[in-house]
Amino acid sequence: MAGEERFDYYDEAGTWLGSAPRSEVHARGLWHRSIHCWLVRREGERKLVLFQRRSTDKDTFPGYYDITAAGHLTAGETMREAAREIEEELGVPVPFETLIPLGEARHEATGFAKGAAFIDREISGVFGFVYDAPLASLTLQAEEVAGVYEADLSVMIALFDGERDHAAAAGFRLDAGRHPVASEIQVKASEFVTRPSSYYSGVFRALLLHL
């Protein structure tokens, strides 16, 4: 497809093999790279993690809850350059040097996007960022993000450890006119993009150490 973005792809050991259009990478299940960034903040004694609700127009997992900001690395792009996703999705300029490295995660998922089967195999650099401004100060990229919420880290750990059925979260969503509207929700683990529960609880435990 003309103008389609290209991704570098790799073998299972992480060795670069070449680049291909996004649609081909997902159709063939080729390993490619992405960046995950979880924002956290303190409010008094509370330690909070922020997460987004994906736009209902997304080709994969529309309307699911997800990492605060994330994105694929395009061909030739470095992890440092990919940190642009944070500002693009949330309106927060975050220098790469201020990110907290939390390791690497591998994720495989299958499904259908716009009627076509996909196999998503990602090698993700995972980072945290301590955000010191109110949640309402974020500016969402409506094409990608339908809303943003925050919840207590300890409660979210319990949710993904299977010790709770739901967690209370508060934030805002974008209305039909793309204006922010305050929103409170009860979220379940099954409403997040499908990843191992250990990914979520492990990242949340690591973030807790930095607040």
**What's the pLDDT score for residue 2?**
52
> Quick check: 114 pLDDT over 80?
no
Tell me the C-alpha distance between 162 and 119, whole Å: 27
Q: What is the phi/psi pair of residue 36, to 5°?
A: -115, 130
Q: What is the phi/psi pair of residue 44, to 5°?
A: 65, -125
pLDDT-based confidence at residue 54 (cuts at 50, 70, 90): very high
Strand-pairing partners, residue 199, are: none
Give the angle 190-191-193 at the CA atoms, nearest 5°. 90
Mean pLDDT, all residues of the chain: 94
> Quick check: 112 pLDDT over 90?
no
Spatial contact of 10 and 35, defined as CB atoms under 8 Å apart: no
- Which helix (DSSP H) or strand (DSSP E) does residue 198 occupy? helix 197-208
Query: Which domains does the chain possess?
Result: 6-208 (3.90.79.10)
Q: Report which DSSP code applies to 194.
A: S
Least confident of 1-5, 50-54, 98-102, 165-169: 1-5
- Which helix (DSSP H) or strand (DSSP E) does residue 158 occupy? helix 153-160
**What's the pLDDT score for residue 137?**
95
**Which DSSP string corresponds to 80-143?**
HHHTHHHHHHH-----GGGSEEEEEEEEEEEEEETTEEEEEEEEEEEEEEE--S-GGG----TT
pLDDT-based confidence at residue 86 (cuts at 50, 70, 90): very high
- What is the average pLDDT across 98-104? 96
The better pLDDT of the pair 89, 2 is held by 89
- Contacts of range 103-107, beta carbons closer than 8 Å, 24 or more positions apart: 103/206, 105/36, 105/195, 105/199, 107/195, 107/199
**What's the pLDDT score for residue 146?**
97
Residue in 118, 104, 116, 125 with CA at minimum distance from that of residue 30:
118
